[in-house]
Amino acid sequence: MESLPFRVQQGFLPVGLLSAQSSRAELYQRFNDVVSSWPTCKGLSSVQLFRHEKGWYNSISPFVGTMVADACFAARPTDIIIATFPKSGTTWIKALLFAMAHRRENLANGACHPFNSLGPHECINFLKYQLYTENKIPNLEELSNPRLFATHMPFELLPRSMSSATYWSAHLVYPDQVLFFGYEEMKRDPTSHLLSLAEFIGLPFNSKEKDNGVVDAIIKLCSFENMNSLEATKGGKTWTMIGAIPNSAFFRRGEARDWTNHLPPKMVEWIDAITKAKFAGDSSIIQLTMFYLLTVKLVENSVDDLVRNFKTGLQMSNLLFSFSSINDAMSFISMKSSAPSKAEQDTDVKTNEELYQHFTNLVSSWPSCQGMSYLQLFRHEKGCYNSISPMVGAMVANTCFSALSSDIIVATLPKSGTTWLKALLYATVNRREHPANATDHPLNSLGPHECINFLEYQLYTENKIPNLDKLLNPRMFATHVPFKLLPRAVEKSGCKIIYVCRDPKDNMISLLHFMNNYYSRNGREPLTVEAVVDYFCSGLSPFGPYWDHVLSYWHAHKAHPERVLFFKYEEMKKDGDTTPSEEEANGVVDDIVKLCSFDNMTGLEATKDGKTWLIIGAMPNRAFFRRGEAGDWANHLSPEMAQRIDAITEAKFAGSGLIDL
């Protein structure tokens, strides 16, 4: 059986340094160290669960396997990936797909069919549970097309090579590229689903095969009764990262509504409430996911613990409440930014107060925790954190903001050069009516944040829906939200977005100074560097995690460079050599740079005595100014702290072109 084309040969790819066993071990150890730095908790699994920066939970080995697969797996356009949540029909769909894909060389009614000696999980391997484990980098090049693989990982964690293969190109937004099956529907009509599956992967059954009973033979071969009776099921084992698992453990007759035999009404209400909130307005999605929610195999946990873990998301391979992540990825490729959830859309309110209250109630229902802010942080369904008011402001902006094609949006993480970029942009756009060297320039009397307002911190706050129609073009706005939470009108308008990012360590230190400055004015104990490092690495900073925020705009810039301009703070600080235009020759550019310089801006009365009204109250303008020197983090962080942040940065930005940040 070792020669069969679907078996994975346990060789290794000669990919640079990874060809050496020691280097493979180093790669696994590096990712092991990264995962070990994440927050942990007890969950549905008997082993400790770690929380990925994007919100997913699992034990350490599958996460490491996922990262190694991301670094090493080379996808082909002909590959087929089975993606499921654990215990949602994975074994059955593997059996159907394998038998259908190999039906010509392995007849379903043949006495020597591979299923007579191998289980479905031995025929179609999991990437993170079987292939990328125990320091292995498997050689998959010899597998014949179409290669079949499986995963329980969420869409956002699929190996990046899939996004560069033709199959995962921009056409991913079309339904003919992603096939969704409901387990109950498959149970009711397996024949039509098998025909759809064959058509989808490009191996349709011809008339002769249908007439000769090939379809029926495959369904019979893969039926529960047949598979459960095979010697490969009764006596065989599948080797995974946790050891040898009896193949019989993967088979259980999954009956729809079996949950009624285990869950009392109160527990059902809890799960139903979460399901309706997450998928409100789309009954087909609710019906599709009810099996995933309610037919989980009861393990050693009590039913109470099981439901609690489901309610908080603490189950392994936490894809359960994240079907929107697939939509996010599709939308991102086609520049469809931040479509709101149905819960956000279906407000049906008549007043501003009701609109704000609706979103306040929604945010209040999300998981919360302590973070870098003294305010409680709430975790958005799409993975970012912030206190309740900015989250509500972002949602109201998403609902009410009407973008124009001439608008300009400044997008940043807090303390990454926002104030400086705002000043430069405002002075540049208005340079003809307000020469930079004029004594009455607006920046002499107003702070940059008063000239260019934040959507979620200034405009959409305190039950306000501002009238922005009378603003002169080009209108300029700012935001700290990640790309996927930008108001949906921004994508439709085609307006420009300017993003600036900063070295993560310097960004974190600047946040530390800003927060402690604020704490000091309000009589609070300052944050320690150790605490801030923990919060920052866990993503518990305003609209963090840092890495997800930066990558979201970087990918948008790569997809649409004519619309999204991406700056690095450190590069902005350097002087560049350019061929001077007429305005440059006349000193206009130099005047703007001088006007917006740190030395000039901090000397202005508007900075020394002025205030900017934000969602948290009046902030002294001087609080927004601090001389941001590249590499200042070295004066604050221990080598171990710096290494911890660098390890995350390297893992998150690997292959993106941002690793030099």
Q: What is the DSSP string of 15-32?
A: -GGGGSHHHHHHHHHHHH
Phi first, then psi: give them for residue 186, nearest 5 degrees: -65, -40
Q: Assess whether 480 carries a catalytic annotation.
A: yes
Which tokens hold the place of 550?
């930066």
- For tokens 């020759």, name the residue: 585
What integer pLDDT is reported at residue 254 of this predicted model?
64
What CATH code is assigned to 335-653? Answer: 3.40.50.300
What integer pLDDT is reported at residue 353 of this predicted model?
93
**List of E strands, 444-586:** 453-454, 476-479, 496-501, 564-568
What integer pLDDT is reported at residue 290 of this predicted model?
30
238 DSSP β-pair partners: 245
Dist. CA 325–CA 140, nearest whole Å: 28
What integer pLDDT is reported at residue 585 of this predicted model?
60
Instruction: Say if CB 414 and CB 511 are below 8 A apart.
Output: yes
Dist. CA 39–CA 462, nearest whole Å: 34
What integer pLDDT is reported at residue 477 of this predicted model?
97
What integer pLDDT is reported at residue 89 of this predicted model?
83
> What is the Cα 118 distance to its own chain's centre?
36
Which tokens hold the place of 325?
């992540």
Query: Are 75-250 and 335-653 equal in CATH topology?
Result: yes
Query: Consecutive sets of 10 residues in the chain, 661 residues long: mean pLDDT of each?
Result: 33 35 81 88 78 81 90 87 85 89 83 82 90 89 85 82 45 52 75 84 86 88 83 79 73 70 77 64 38 29 43 41 32 33 44 93 91 87 91 96 96 91 91 88 86 94 92 94 95 93 93 82 85 91 93 94 92 61 69 74 74 68 65 89 92 83 48
Q: Which helix (H) or strand (E) holds 448?
A: helix 448-451
491 half-sphere exposure, CB direction, 13 A CA radius: 18
What integer pLDDT is reported at residue 3 of this predicted model?
31
Per-domain residue ranges for the chain? 75-250, 261-331, 335-653
Listed in sequence order, the residues at least 6 apart from 580 whose beta carbon sits closer than 8 Å to its beta carbon are none
CATH class of 75-250: alpha beta
Which listed residue (102, 152, 449, 480) is catalytic?
480
What integer pLDDT is reported at residue 264 of this predicted model?
83
Report the 10 Å Cβ neighbour count for 535: 24
614 DSSP β-pair partners: 617
Report the 10 Å Cβ neighbour count for 36: 12
